[in-house]
Copies of this chain bind each other. A is one copy, B any other.
Amino acid sequence: MAENENPIRFGIIGCAEIARKVSRAINLSPNATLIAIASRSIPKVKRFAIKNKVSENVKLYGSYEELLDDPSVDAVYMPLPTSLHVKWAVMATEKGKHLLLEKPTALDVKMFDEMFEACERNRVQFMDASMWYHHPRTVKMKELISNSEIFGRVKAIHSSSSYQGTAHFLENDIRVKPDLDSLGALGDTGWYCIGTILWTMNQKLPTTVTALPGTVWNSARVILSCSASLYWDEEETVATFYCSFISHETMDLAVCGTNGTLHVEDFIIPYDENSAAFSFTSGAKFVDMHIGWNVKPQQVQVDTPLPQEALMIQEFSRLVKGIKEGRSQPDSKWAQTSRVTQLVLDAVKNSIDNGYKAIQMHFQFLSGCSIQTTLLKTSPSFKV
C-alpha cells in the first residue's frame, strides 16, 4: 500500500501517562512510525522507554528543543500541561513540525489562536488529540442523527464526562494545578462534553452559554466539577453537560430529536477496543392505553479495524503526508473543531466567573480573509 510507504515520523514531547497510549497507537497506525521521544531529562525519558518497552530505534532526547531540532521528525504529539502549550507548539511549528496537541488545546481562545496562526504561517497540520471523533461508531452515530426522517431535528442534548480521581490524583496531578492546567475538570473532561455537544450540532456555536450553580473548586481554585447549559436560538435546541473529577466514571451522550433518540454511555473510551455500541430509537409511541412502547431501543454495534487512537494517528498522518508530498494544504477542519470547543469552554468559564450569568456569544467576522480563515477567525466577543 502506498499509504504505508514513507510513514510519517513522529516525535513525542513529554512523557505523560497518555503518551504510552499514543505511542502504541503510532505503532499500530500503518502510515506512522515513532522515531523520537523527549522529556526534560535523559533519566526521565529512559525510564519511560524502559517501562514501555520502546523500540531501540527510537531516539531518546533529554530536552524538547533537541527533538524539535531533529530534521527527521515530521510531526509531534504534545501531551504537555496546557499552560506550556503555546511555547512549545509555536516552537514546533516554526521548526516545521506538524502538531498533534493534547486537549484542552489552550487556556483560552487567544492562546489557541496564537498556536493556530503559527500553524497557518508555517503551513503545518493541526489536530487535537480527541480520539473519539475517529471511531467508526462516531461516524455511524452521525449518519443516524443526520437522517431527518428517522431522527428529525435535534432538540435536546445531554452529556456527562467524569471520573473519580484518587486522593493522589486530586493532590498531585497536573490537572488540578493552577499553574499547569488551571481549567481543571472543565478543561479535561468538560472538553469532551462540549466537543460531543458541538459535534451533534455540526460545530455550530450556541447563542447562549450559561454555567449552572454548583461548581466545585479545590483549595487552589481549580475546578473539580461543574455544569453548564447551551442554547441555539434558531434551532430551539438546548444542551446540558456535567463534568467532574469527583464522580464515578461517566461518558454519556443522550441526544433527543423530534423523531428519534440516541444514547451512548462510553463515547470517549469505548468499553472494549474492538467494537462499540450505542442505542437508538426512532418513531417510538405508546401502545394503546399507555402500557408500553411500540418500539424499543435498538443496539447498534460498530466494529473497528484499529483502536480509535490509531485511527486518529492514521488520519492525522494522511493529512500530513499530503502536505509533505506537496499534494495538499493543511486542512483546517480539525482546528475549527478545536476552536469552537475552546470558545464554548471559555464562555462556560466566563459564566462561572461572573456568577453563572448567561453569556451571549456574538461573533464578528473579520474582513479580508479567505472563507476558511474567516470561519476560524470569528473573534469571540462575549456579552455577559
Binds B, one of A29-37, A64-72, A265-273, A342-350: A265-273
Distance of A192 from chain B, by nearest CB (Å): 13
A247-300 contacts to B, CB under 8 A, are 247-250, 252, 254, 256-261, 263, 265-266, 269-273, 279, 281-286, 289-293, 296-297
Query: Contact check: which of B158, B208, B212 meets A160 at CB < 8 Å?
Result: B158
Do B18 and A290 touch across chains, with their CB atoms under 8 A apart? yes
Contact present for A254 and B254 (CB under 8 Å): yes
B248 touching A260, Cβ below 8 Å: yes
A:1-50 near B, CB below 8 Å? 18, 20-21, 24
Is B249 touching A269 in the complex (CB atoms < 8 A)? no
Binds B, one of A115-123, A170-178, A197-205, A229-237: A229-237
Query: Is the Cβ of B214 less than 8 Å from the Cβ of A248?
Result: no
Please tell me if the beta carbons of B249 and A237 are within 8 angstroms of each other in the complex. Answer: no
| Interface: A242 (CB within 8 A) | yes
Name the B residues within 8 Å of A213 (CB-CB). Answer: 207-208, 210, 229, 231, 238, 358
Given contacts A160-B156, A266-B293, contact A210 B212 (CB under 8 A): yes
- Do A265 and B156 have beta carbons less than 8 Å apart? no
Specify the main secondary structure of chain A where it touches its partner.
strand
Q: Is A307 an interface residue (CB 8 A)?
A: yes
Chain B, residue nearest A251 (CB): B293
The answer to whether the Cβ of A324 comes within 8 Å of any Cβ in the partner chain is no
Q: Is A358 in contact with B356, judged by CB distance below 8 angstroms?
A: yes
Contacts of A307 in B (CB 8 A): 291
A244 at the interface (CB under 8 A from B): yes
Asked if B242 contacts A247 (CB within 8 A), the reply is no
Give A106-161 interface residues, CB cut-off 8 Å to B.
152, 155-156, 158, 160
A158-B240, A164-B258 given; A249·B284 CB < 8 A: yes
Task: Check if A84 is an interface residue, CB within 8 A of chain B.
Answer: no
Query: Is B247's CB under 8 angstroms from A257's CB?
Result: yes
The yes or no answer to A246 lying at the interface (CB within 8 A) is: yes
Bound Cα distance from A309 to B250, whole angstroms: 33
Known contacts A212-B231, A256-B248, A284-B249; A158/B158 CB under 8 A: yes
B238 engages A227 (CB within 8 Å): yes
* In contact, A156 and B164 (Cβ under 8 angstroms): no
Which 10 A-B residue pairings sit nearest by Cβ, starting from the closest? A214-B238, A249-B284, A212-B229, A240-B240, A213-B231, A214-B231, A155-B247, A156-B242, A21-B289, A208-B213
Beyond the given pairs A252-B254, A269-B290, A271-B296, 5 more chain A to chain B contacts, judged by CB atoms under 8 angstroms and listed by A's residue number, are A24-B289, A210-B356, A213-B238, A246-B258, A263-B263
